[in-house]
Structure 1
């Protein structure tokens, strides 16, 4: 696999919309007219968080997890192990520097959200904080995934989104992250890594995810009851997985489709409001 193919795999194409999707939703809800949807700033944020933002996030993760990932079965097929290539490291660093350029083109109201995203994206995996190895903080720090959408809303609307929308999105990311950690429970334990999932164990981690997603739905109920009802799909699905004989390592790969579907419904709702009032 050449460098370009390696970088593509490192960036986790299945998960590209975990960062870029919230940008689409944020722009759709912030837009006051159809041209706002295609404003240069909206396109710049979407373009960055579609690929370079993922190269930065997962590149930092793979660099500092190289030793741990040696025994992780996910790296055998759907993901890539860090190769130790200095050119790859340079591309990851360049992706971070490109992200800093967003501060030059976005209004100040978006800066705190962008700064929080980049801080968490790096410190989730990198020393000295390395949040991913601290139970509960590993979950909370994954609010980094919703922050591109919050920044996009703020940049286009010129004001911050509703507080309960940010809270609901943050709780959603906490549940999503911890669910994704279930397949890694045994590899992480063998590597001596402590996470929310390794501390709780598989059964209680399912319950933790369901609670996070229920809390996210309740937070969004303050903003719009229809969004809250849509988000109830997550606790329902996780309960169904827990009760079934489906291997969580297999179910984990269904979530990009579920998340994209939910994001699509949210976006279509925002577009309906924009066009039809």
Structure 2
């Protein structure tokens, strides 16, 4: 399975194309997965009415910071990427873009993130800055733990804390929303890691897919079940009404469908299922919006 997918970026000249691929603009699923937790936090805290414009700022920030994170990841992982069939053609690993040029690009993308940060109230700004250490450390996790997907969950769902803190004071629903997102990421990124399980074993790269082995499907089911439980608790604490839990039923059906389809663990199917989590994030956003607007 190639690391770059066909799309509009293929029409770019060679140099801009290399930077677009470095930023993963040809693979937008990751930007959606970073954006949706921001939307959840904003919606659950009632921010769609109080400050709905923040949703657009979060969208811009998610696109820029996901790109910056990918650049940093490729700089750190350039030697490992060169050993994996799917990633050896990445611009830094292949030498198309130098490490210095990639660092300059990452700084430029981070300045966009700074512009978004300045739109937030001080509490949310402080919360957002707390993610820097998580982002910086993530590329090293696959070297030291079998569960780098858990670290990715801590990182990718930080936006739920930022979105919530942009409107309301931190409380138990915010913490449960974030924890559910971590469990969700453990599930979908385990699916993603199934693409590279053989090459990762050769290169010595650790992952939850390798740790779980034949039990990967059951593991994903368990992670998704835990996510739904935590999210249900978050929604219930905001509005203790049995009908609130019904808002999670479309999401539960979607995640159950993913687990059912995972009987085929081939790379193409794994990538397809991973990408459908954009829809899962949207369904969770809808549930949070229903509760937050009630």
- TM-score, structure 2 normalization: 0.77
Deviates more, 1:166-175 or 1:135-144: 135-144
Alignment of 1:1-277 (within 5 A): 2-12=14-24, 13-32=28-47, 34=49, 36-39=51-54, 42-50=55-63, 52-75=64-87, 82=93, 83-85=96-98, 86-100=100-114, 102-111=116-125, 113-125=127-139, 130-142=140-152, 143-160=154-171, 161-201=173-213, 203-224=214-235, 225-226=245-246, 228-233=248-253, 236-243=256-263, 246-255=264-273, 257-272=275-290, 277=294
Structure 1 residues 137 and 262: alpha-carbon distance in aligned structure 2, compared to 1, 3 A threshold: closer
CA contact (8 A) 2:33 2:281 kept: no
CA contact (8 A) 2:134 2:151 kept: yes
CA contact (8 A) 2:18 2:97 kept: no
CA distance, structure 2, for counterparts of residue 222 and residue 166 of structure 1 = 12
CA distance, structure 1, for counterparts of residue 230 and residue 207 of structure 2 = 25
CA distance, structure 1, for counterparts of residue 144 and residue 288 of structure 2 = 37
Structure 1 residues 247 and 273: alpha-carbon distance in aligned structure 2, compared to 1, 3 A threshold: closer
Structure 1 residues 235 and 29: alpha-carbon distance in aligned structure 2, compared to 1, 3 A threshold: closer
**Paired residue secondary structure (1:181):** helix
CA distance, structure 1, for counterparts of residue 286 and residue 229 of structure 2 = 21
CA distance, structure 2, for counterparts of residue 248 and residue 226 of structure 1 = 33
Segments of 5+ residues of structure 2 without an aligned counterpart are: 1-12, 236-244
**Paired residue secondary structure (2:276):** helix
Structure 1 residues 9 and 111: alpha-carbon distance in aligned structure 2, compared to 1, 3 A threshold: same
Name the count of aligned residue pairs: 265
Deviates more, 1:224-233 or 1:171-180: 224-233
In the TM superposition, what whole-angstrom CA distance separates every residue of 1:6-58 from its partner, at most 9, and x where no partner exists?
A: 2222222232211122223322233356362114xx433321112x1112111
CA distance, structure 1, for counterparts of residue 289 and residue 230 of structure 2 = 22
CA contact (8 A) 1:135 1:196 kept: no
CA contact (8 A) 2:39 2:285 kept: yes
Structure 1 residues 171 and 56: alpha-carbon distance in aligned structure 2, compared to 1, 3 A threshold: same
Shift of residue 228, structure 1, vs aligned partner: 4.7
CA contact (8 A) 2:42 2:160 kept: yes
- TM-score, structure 1 normalization: 0.81
**Paired residue secondary structure (1:3):** helix
CA distance, structure 1, for counterparts of residue 30 and residue 65 of structure 2 = 11
In the TM superposition, what whole-angstrom CA distance separates every residue of 1:220-267 from its partner, at most 9, and x where no partner exists?
A: 222332355444346523432343xx3531123223552222222333
